[in-house]
Amino acid sequence: MKSVKYFLAAIVISFPLWWGLNSFSFTLEDYFAGTSFAYEDKILNASAQEAVLSQKLESAKPIKKGNIENLELGARAAISIHLNKETNSEKSLFEKQGDVILPIASLTKLMTAYVVLENYSLDEIVSISKDAIDQDEEFGQLKAGENIKVSELLYPLLMESSNDAAYALAEVIGVESFVDLMNMEAKNMGLKNTHFVNPTGLNEENATATKYLNYSTVKDLSRMTELLLKNPLIWDILSQTDYYLYTDGVFHHKLENTNELLKTEENWGKRIIGGKTGWTPEAKGCLIIVLKDPNNGGYLINVVLSSDDRFLEMTKLINWVEESYRW
């Protein structure tokens, strides 16, 4: 009987000790588990913060370097815009007189091509009129009475900057109606300082900067170019240094692109997607060049207006941008 009592007493006495030891064990496990989780959380948080920081740095590129000399250009206006393909954002890298309204000469033909592609069938036949042939120009080699497809006329329009081709394409629906469409598209694109009076870019009689001239700003032109990048045919044509034009299966003539920078020996030359030239006595030299950025993560849109040497100044602009930023 005593042994039973001693046994029960032992159980009673040992129970608190057993409970305490187990509680202590649970507490240690919880402590170490909590410490482990906290440590892992810190690691995860640090990794997440590092990833976010890295992403922010990437999205901030290109980043301008310190102690960079300002770029001096003789052109009245110029701009360089970087378009980031991943973030779908844009960043101004250089700007001179971005909102100054200036004549744009044959840069007009980018909008001419856009209106054609939005409203015409590429297989539509265009009859070349005498009025089209009478347009002032040195290129195109079109002849009155010829019947040429829209798709074929786009090449002399964009590569040779043919005024004959521009006027002939506009005549399909009437020149006045065509110009109305050009201005409607400019409005739709948000080009607040852009206006067209003809599809060629030629100056009208007694022209001034805002009357009887096609005019724009480098900001508006960079915006228009950005939107036109969505149309690959335009840039496929603008990237050609030369092209053998056939009409109805018969050789017509060899086209030479007016954009001399397609043959440049600059290290960025092979990254050029395309560009458009323009020149009149009033507008002077005008040029748009689009190229892939050094990391192929986006595009550089570069515009120069009213320049005495558009190719030299465009080269200076692109070189300065590429050397002045971290990519």
Is 10 contained in some domain? no
Per-residue pLDDT tens digits for 169-195: 999 999 999 999 999 999 999 999 999
Across 123-137, 204-218, 285-299, least confident range:
204-218
Is 143 contained in some domain? yes
Give alpha helix (H) positions in the chain: 2-60, 108-119, 130-133, 150-159, 163-171, 175-188, 218-228, 232-238, 310-324
pTM reported for the whole predicted model: 0.82
pLDDT(41) > 50: yes
Structure-block tokens of residue 61: 């590129």
Domain total in the chain: 1
Per-residue pLDDT tens digits for 121-170: 999 999 999 999 999 876 668 999 999 999 999 999 999 999 999 999 99
Cα separations in angstroms, 26 against 11, 18, 32, 36: 22, 12, 10, 15
**Residue 130: domain span:** 66-326
pLDDT(3) > 70: no
Is 42 contained in some domain? no
Query: Higher confidence at residue 96 or residue 12?
Result: 96
Is 195 contained in some domain? yes
Is 303 contained in some domain? yes
Tell me what pLDDT residue 21 has: 42
Distance CA 274, CA 18 (A): 83
Q: At 290, which CATH number? A: 3.40.710.10
